Amino acid sequence: MKKLVLRATTACLVGTTVAAGMTMAAGADDGNLVLPSAGAGNTTADENTAALQDARVPEKTAEAVETADTAAEPEAAKEESLAGSQAIAALAEDLEYVNIRAAADDMAESIGKMYDRDVATVLGEEGIFYYVTSGSVTGYVHKDCVFVGEEAENYTDLYYTAKGTNTLEGLHVRTAPDDMAEALCQLSSGEVVDVLENDGGWSKIYYADGDLEGYVHSDCLLSGIDYSYAESNEEEAIRLAEEAEAAASAAEAEEAAREAEEAAQAAEAAAKAAAEEAEAAQKAEEEAAREEAERAEAEAEAAREAAERAEAEAETRAAEEAEEEDEDADAGEEDEAEAEEESYNSAESYSDSSKGQQIANYALQFVGNPYVWGGTSLTNGADCSGFVMSVMADCGISVAGRTAAAQSQGGVSVSSDNLQPGDLIFYTHGGSVGHVAIYIGDGRIVHAANSRRGITTDSAFYQTPYKCVRYY
């Protein structure tokens, strides 16, 4: 379930915004959360399981204030309210969703589910539970399933992009935040753009239809973020029914396609018969042409024999002349071979000294390719550690393990002040290593960011690095 939350309504909130998730801490809602088995599969331990990944901190909205003011918050929760703070989940990659329960008890009825990156508002606390509201569901989730405060804010820009709806017909998109700057295009009223940043009454936007970036007046945009919210049991049932209906429609379409294919095959057979008739006629023409070619070849044979005799005589003369020049040529070839060997050794030395830059340049070739959790393909999709492992392997370097945590244990540690292209930078999620990127120089990294952004480049310090390692 998604809802557009307007930036224009941002205010001091009573509630706390959270996104669904799960840390790897033990003991979190034993009747609710599912720990993965070995490999990429999942093991069911209640009615919930599957693979959840990252989440992002949503902005607080006036809507959240209204929800927090009107919800029936328990007394215990009110006493420990986290008013005004933000929260977001840091999920285990193998958890699909977390239950929202009717009471602060692992055995309480599940009244809804929060999926990957779902957003909620914290109304209070009760023991090891947060009391939250998300979408149409209000209930309790384990504290282990969410993070709050500054750490949560690090995830905001990774998963949600602000959208702006134009409210002025013919709004100019300009090359710079200046009314005198060149106009790139005009926006119609109601068109939606990505809002990249806001500064001094101007908004920098990305306009997908024109594939361009530019600036518009901020007061002409109604900005917000399309957040994802929890799903009640009733909403889940409706969604599953709609998915089943869509699957049935797809099956009908497949049957129609099969019938169309059979008709096409019949037409192909008829065309084949016609082609065979045409082929027979063509063979008769080719036979006549072959006989004519044989006569022409016989006439040309005599001419070839005369040419061969002349060529043999010319080769004999050329061999005698070449023999006289061989001794001088041998000396020149030896000098040239020595020069080539020196050039090769110099190139090889340069290659070794710039190994880190080679790694960075090679990795940048795959920017724009997709992110696939568990993947290692540089073209078809890889996750962060799979991307690093494949790039390094293609450059002749073996890293320590398949996961980011394992890779952080190999190589030689370097300080963030002494980073060189080709070094690996590791970041933490929830206190443990959870992400790895390749440093490319000038304070930038290339990495498999997430399923929305794929393989891309970012600032190396979008989050404080946990560790920097050099493998080459």
Active site residue 447: yes
Angle at 440 between CA 439 and CA 446, to 5 degrees: 70
3-class state of residue 344 by DSSP: helix
Amino acid at 201: G
Residue in 384, 395, 429, 468 annotated catalytic: 384
Using DSSP's 3-state secondary structure scheme, residue 308 falls into: helix
Per-residue buried b or exposed e for 124-151, using 16+ beta carbons within 10 Å of the residue's own CB: bbbeebbbbbbbebbbbbbbbbbbbeeb
- In angstroms, rounded to a whole number, what is the distance separating the alpha carbons of residues 100 and 116? 14
Q: Exactly one of 142, 172, 429, 435 is catalytic; which is it?
A: 435
Q: Which residue, among 212, 227, 225, 224, has the nearest Cα to 167 in the 3D structure? A: 224
Q: What is the DSSP string of 366-411?
A: TTTPPB-TT-EETTTEE-HHHHHHHHHHHTT---S-SSHHHHTTSS
Structure tokens at 305: 């024999």
Active-site entry in 172, 395, 447, 468: 447
Mention every residue, 6+ apart, whose C-beta is less than 8 A from residue 18: 87, 88, 89, 119, 120, 121, 122, 130, 132, 134, 141, 146, 148
Contact of 363 with 422, CB cutoff 8 Å = no
Q: What Rg, from alpha-carbon coordinates, does the chain have?
A: 34
15, 148 Cβ separation under 8 angstroms: no
Cα separation, 452 vs 435, whole angstroms: 16
| Residue 266 exposure: Cα atoms within 13 Å on the Cβ side | 6
User: For residue 224, which of 193, 250, 248 has the smallest C-alpha distance?
Assistant: 193
| SS3 state at 227 | strand
Residue 16: strand pairing partners? 122
89 CB neighbour count, 10 Å cutoff: 33
- From first CA to last CA, the distance across the chain in angstroms is 47
Name the nearest CA neighbour of 98 among 82, 116, 80, 77. 116
384 has catalytic annotation: yes
- For 385, other C-beta atoms within 10 Å of its C-beta total 27
Buried b (16+ CB within 10 A) or exposed e, 227-242: bbbbbbeebbeeeeee
Residues annotated as catalytic (active site), given as ranges: 384, 435, 447
